[in-house]
Structure 1
């Protein structure tokens, strides 16, 4: 099979697997305000269906990566998707916030296999500039998930009950499972070491100073996006008085900006050095945050446009950022991918918690988080470049 055929066959499945978190979180977003009213719970409690998912998802990633290095990618991936399908059915049957939070935790434990192992599979199959382009292609396709997921969720709420959102997620899991069953194992050589020793690979990674610094810096740049996910429904529905369907369109517009950023990298990556695109993306975070804090509360559009700049900036910087992080390791790709995505989601959960606090207006909290993360990420990236990191990018 030549490279073009390999890409044609595997990229759609990798994109679907990587999109599991977006589908699992964004489809339920339009229902969060109504669930808070239904169960008479504050937003900080109802948002635990997001925060609990993200925290569990992140910790579960740490197990799938090393296990896949020991037994291959396919078996752990299939096991995770089966857990996801069962948990989705249980979520649809939940009758209280507590039950839904618990079942979402189980759902996250299953879904963690998808994005972690899809990134490891990408490293198995591709290298160098080709991997950067594949990561960008996946980012473009993956961006369709947060674009359509809340719209689908909004329309489900318009005609059916919220339970059907999780039935739809279970169906997506079945589709992913069928794709994995038909896909050959991508890891050519598995480790013969016991799982306990394979888990020790995290200790080795923690001693890789450049890898750890890069993971933290790039994860920090994504924190504003996760904060927006948790706070957007309250900002648009309760703050600006939108309906659930209208909110889903504004959220989709934001997701379109993320996809446009990834597409821009594909178009510009051959003409502009990836390190310069990353620098521009981090500057975009700061500029977008400043506009949000200045005029964001004037109208939905005044907030949506600078927020779109923020997510566009994340979209254009994420493919080269992921590639640069993975370039810092030469073995234990599964563990390295798991630790990378674990950090993404762990810091993302922190952002979700911060934006749920009632210390000031939700929009102002989001703008402040974005500004602080943008400034810190930009400064750290400048220091890393002076040390020679990314000089070949």
Structure 2
């Protein structure tokens, strides 16, 4: 597919847009235990700044996707990122748990434009194996976000206050907005569906059996990672007694595993059948979960290494699985991308809520979530392959 000169170097921008959720959630993670103390709230309440963000983000994805299919990617992106910048500044001046949660909902409404439309732009510009390679490149670059976001958050907490975390997120939004303003429209053929009927594209997608099956399978595979995100700070800081900065390094180690998995996927793309990478990734989730249940309570590294196996496995399987999901549709790429990420985040919020409850043994709960999800998707994936249910095009 021929690409104009202005789009040759668009991959870093796509990666930044895709990384908005990671920056928006992971930077605040080191502050969650201290916010619970400052505001005298339980972890389940304070974690609503994560859960409310995820739920709102997922909900608004459903609007940005079809609207972008009708009016193009650029205008919804500009509007969404502008709202994100404003909401980030409001979060920075919040003075209670309730106001921070409310402003995080607004922040999520703006951020929702980024990830879904960046994936739709990827489908606009690239195709086939090239798209799969680009998705792997983006996964590698965006893995830097969860690696450095909590470290940056920890450094901010060491020298400033948690309010500055949201000022930093606002500046990230400004950089993204500048990139979008310099980028031409990528959608070449807009949908002719009237706005009053634009949301009906979801109805057509829900009737696409192959698409729905693949979305559900791939979304369940990510649930252990989202559960870890919500429970990690309490687990490392309160459970293992680490400082906020040391926690951020352990979280970064887990993000490094995600990057390693994405890099492995990139190296194997073109040499190995994508289905083998997906199978290996799902099996790795089961292995890591079994190790967490066996040795995870012995210390921070005894937990971190099995969790890294799970995250590496997600990293190696996510790019080909995202590609495989998009291969099930020929039109309405924006809606398909939005519904895919909506399902990711909605199920992820369920995992976050579950692990945030007042468990006496949070490690065992997280291990049980990972084991059940890993086993479920591995079995489902083997059945799908055996019955030739999904379409795979090169």
Q: TM-score range by the shorter chain?
A: over 0.9
Cα distance in 1 for residues equivalent to 2:207 and 2:247: 45
1:132–1:7 distance in 2 versus 1, CA, 3 Å: farther
Structure 2 CA distance for partners of 1:372 and 1:6, relative to 1, 3 Å: farther
The answer to whether the aligner puts 1:39 opposite 2:18 as a matched pair is no
Query: Is the 2:129–2:270 Cα contact (8 Å) retained in structure 1?
Result: no
Deviations 1:265-295 (A, max 9, x none): 1111222111001100000000000000110
3-state secondary structure, aligned to 1:9:
coil
Deviations 1:125-158 (A, max 9, x none): 0110000000000000000000000000000000
TM (normalized to structure 2)?
A: 0.98
Q: Matched residue of 2:381: which SS?
A: helix
| TM superposition score normalised by structure 1 | 0.98
The answer for the alignment partner of 1:229 in structure 2 is: 229
Map of 2:342 onto structure 1:
342
Deviation, 1:298, is 0.1
Aligned twin of 1:71? 71
Given that residues 78 and 177 in structure 1 are in contact (C-alpha distance below 8 angstroms), is that contact kept between their aligned partners in structure 2? Answer: yes
Dislocated runs of 4+, deviation >6 Å? none
For residue 296 of structure 1, report the CA deviation from its aligned partner: 0.4
Alpha carbons 2:22, 2:146 under 8 Å: kept: yes
Q: Does 1:244 align with 2:227?
A: no
Equivalent residue, structure 2, for 1:80: 80
Which 5+ residue runs of structure 2 have no aligned equivalent? none
Query: What CA distance in whole angstroms lies between the structure 1 residues aligned with 2:33 and 2:219?
Result: 28
Question: 2: distance between equivalents of 1:363 and 1:5?
Answer: 50
Q: 2:284·2:309 contact (CA, 8 Å) conserved in 1?
A: yes
Superposition pairs for residues 156-235 of structure 1, below 5 Å? 156-235=156-235
Deviations 1:304-358 (A, max 9, x none): 0000000000000000000000000000110000000000000000000010112
- Report if aligned partners of 2:289, 2:371 keep a CA contact under 8 Å in 1: yes
Post-superposition Cα deviations, 1:139-191, rounded to whole Å, max 9, x if no partner, equal 00000000000000000000000000000000000000000000000001112
Residue equivalent to 2:372:
372
Preserved CA contact (<8 Å) 1:385 1:391: no
CA drift at 1:365: 1.0
Structure-2 residue corresponding to 1:123: 123
Separation in 2 of the partners of 1:117 and 1:392?
Answer: 23
Tell me the residue number matched to 2:352: 352
| CA distance in 1: counterparts of 2:269 and 2:192, whole angstroms | 39
Matched, 1:55 2:55: yes
What are the superposed Cα offsets for residues 59-96 of structure 1, whole Å, 9 maximum, x if unpaired? 00000000001110000000000000000000001000
Give the conservation status (yes or no) of the 8 Å contact 2:6–2:183: no
Q: Are 2:146 and 1:146 aligned?
A: yes
RMSD of aligned C-alpha atoms? 1.3
How do 1:204-353 and structure 2 match up within 5 A? 204-353=204-353
Cα contact 1:275–1:391 (8 A) shared by 2: no
Following superposition, the deviation at residue 25 of structure 1 comes to 0.1
Q: Paired residues, what number?
A: 393
Deviations 1:82-137 (A, max 9, x none): 00000000000100000000000000000000001000000000110000000000
The residue aligned with 1:27 is 27
Secondary structure of the 2:297 match is coil
Distance in 2, Cα, partners of 1:231 & 1:367:
12
The answer for unaligned runs of 5 or more in structure 1 is none
1:192 CA drift (Å): 2.6
